[in-house]
Structure 1
Amino acid sequence: MVTTPTALLVHGAFADAGSWSGVIEELQNHGIPVVAPPNPLRGLASDAAYIASQAAQIDGPVVLVGHSYGGAVISVAGIAENVVGLVYVAAYIPEQGESLGELQGRFPLSPLVGSLKEKTYPVDGGESAVEVTIDPEAFPAIFAADVPASLTKVLAVAQRPLAASTFTETASAAAWKDKPSWALVAGADEAINPEVERFGAKRAGATVVEIEGASHAVAVSRPKDVAELIREAVRATG
């Protein structure tokens, strides 16, 4: 019988599962099973359903870890029966019935909002929908100010777009109400106002760690610190 929870890592917008590489290495070095599936980034309900299905197919308990928009995804997907804990990394932590726009609208907007570029993509029925990325010129300062410049240039052109509808879609659940949670606040985050992260973490009753000077890409720049918080959640729920 599997007793050590598997850490299921959910990336956020403008990134992919490769953003967890350093964290994955740290967790593997400590013998923690880990998976990092792609987050479709097409809509909160559909993304959460996909991640919940991934969790449900894992043998044994699961700790969901969400970065950025991935925090909203795990808040909904976390109602899956075998999910035993939630870890938020520089993330949104919405209440049931709340949208990301409503949550971040409680506080001054981050520089991210004025640096988004819109494009369209096809959806069923021959219609089109809007997706957003960060202006590549603004990406380093907004997303990854503490990551080497040579790497941010790569990350800026490898962004995965986020469906714009995710900012207005409301969360159908708030798994943190019933399951223990941990949260890492990136103190120098320019993508999500750190006050949004602090507010959500406090409301969820999460165990909070704050890293002063950390950018939104804290999983890239500070993988050991992120992995340690995940390890704490795994130890507490295993």
Structure 2
Amino acid sequence: MSTTPTIVLIHGAFADSASWAPVTRSLLDKGHTVVVPAVPNRSLIGDSAYIRSVVEQIDGPVLLAGHSYGGAVITVAGMADNVVGLVYVSGYALEEGESLGELQGRFPDSDLATNLVYTPFPEDGTDVSVKIDAFPAVFAGGIDLATAEVLAVCQRPLAGLAFAEAAPAAAWKTKPGWGIVSSADHTINPDVERFGYERAGLRSVVELDAPHLVMLAKPDEVVAVIEEALAAVTSPTPSLTS
């Protein structure tokens, strides 16, 4: 017998929980327990607190997987006591005290930088999204055009505040991690992913010839990494003997 963690999948900016759909379907078919919460995308600290609250209400251990901005979220939310591992999927592995803007600023911009739209919203802030016509190539390259066009008009914007907030903690310092680099990523410079993963000392890093939405382009490969991590963090439960 074993205590198998619940897998919690965290989406990133300009996407929603449906971005994990093929991976979720595969994990459910394999008998895993999966939770895919909606991230508010309002601030790194607020989003991380929300996801941590979701995680802490789960009975038993949790394996957190975060895509893109979701990687920054799990870096902070992963401090929850019941989180036993982290999986970064084309994601940001921030250092404690570091912001998304600071990490990205170490490297040349991706194609995303010139294809963002800034829209004021009533709470005296700014929503950031991707230009509709640029979305298929920049964010959803490698995904069939019909699907990419739907994703482009279903974006979940990220508040501008999230780019500047410093991570108050870095869970990878105390929790084991795994990473996926999308080498054909036009949203995050792949070197940003590589740098963050190396600095975090992740146990294993897989490079895939895939776009930013690797979960949609190569779900089987993403599932394989999640299951590798799951196997490593699953604790055996001693059997009772008379």
TM-score range, shorter chain: over 0.9
How far the C-alpha of 1:83 sits from its partner, in A, is 0.1
Query: Do structure 1's residue 222 and structure 2's residue 218 form an aligned pair?
Result: yes
Structure 1 Cα separation of the partners of residues 2 and 69 of structure 2: 29
* 1:152 aligned counterpart, secondary structure: helix
Could you tell me which runs of 5 or more consecutive residues in structure 2 were left unpaired when the two chains were aligned.
235-242
Inter-partner Cα distance in structure 2 for 1:186 and 1:118: 26
Task: Give the 3-state SS of the residue equivalent to 1:97 in structure 2.
Answer: coil
Q: Is 1:231 matched up with 2:227?
A: yes
- Matched residue SS, 2:197: helix
Which residue matches 2:59?
59
1:170-197 deviation per Cα after TM superposition (whole angstroms, max 9, x unaligned): 0000000000000000010000000000
- Cα deviation for residue 236 of structure 1 reads 0.5
Tell me which residue corresponds to 2:196: 200
Alignment of 1:89-168 (within 5 A): 89-123=89-123, 128-168=124-164
Moved more, 203-212 or 76-85: 203-212
Q: Report Cα offsets for 1:131-176 as digits up to 9, x if no partner.
A: 1100011111111110000000000000000001111110000000
RMSD of Structure 2 on Structure 1 (CA): 1.0
1:83 aligns with 2:80: no
C-alpha distance in 2 between matches for 1:159 and 1:135: 10
Instruction: Report the Cα offset of residue 64 of structure 1.
Output: 0.5
Q: Which runs of 5+ in 1 are unaligned?
A: none
| Structure 1 residue 6 displacement after superposition | 0.6
Match of 2:206 in 1: 209
**Alpha-carbon separation, structure 1, partners of 2:214 and 2:6:** 21
Q: Which residue of 2 is the match for residue 47 of structure 1?
A: 47
Give me the whole-angstrom Cα distance separating, in 2, the residues matched to 1:63 and 1:120: 36
For residue 228 of structure 1, report the CA deviation from its aligned partner. Answer: 1.0
CA distance in 1, matches of 2:122, 2:66: 27
TM-score, normalising length from structure 1?
0.96
Residue 169 (1) aligns with residue 165 (2): yes
Is the Cα contact below 8 Å between 1:2 and 1:60 reproduced in 2?
no
Local SS of the residue matching 2:3: coil
How many equivalent residue pairs? 233
Instruction: Give how far 1:2 is off.
Output: 7.4
Aligned equivalents of 1:170, 1:2: Cα separation in 2: 37
Q: Summarize the alignment of residues 4-83 of structure 1 with structure 2, pairs less than 5 Å apart.
A: 4-83=4-83
Report the Cα distance in structure 2 between the residues aligned to 1:116 and 1:69, rounded to whole angstroms. 15
Larger of the two Rg values belongs to structure: 2
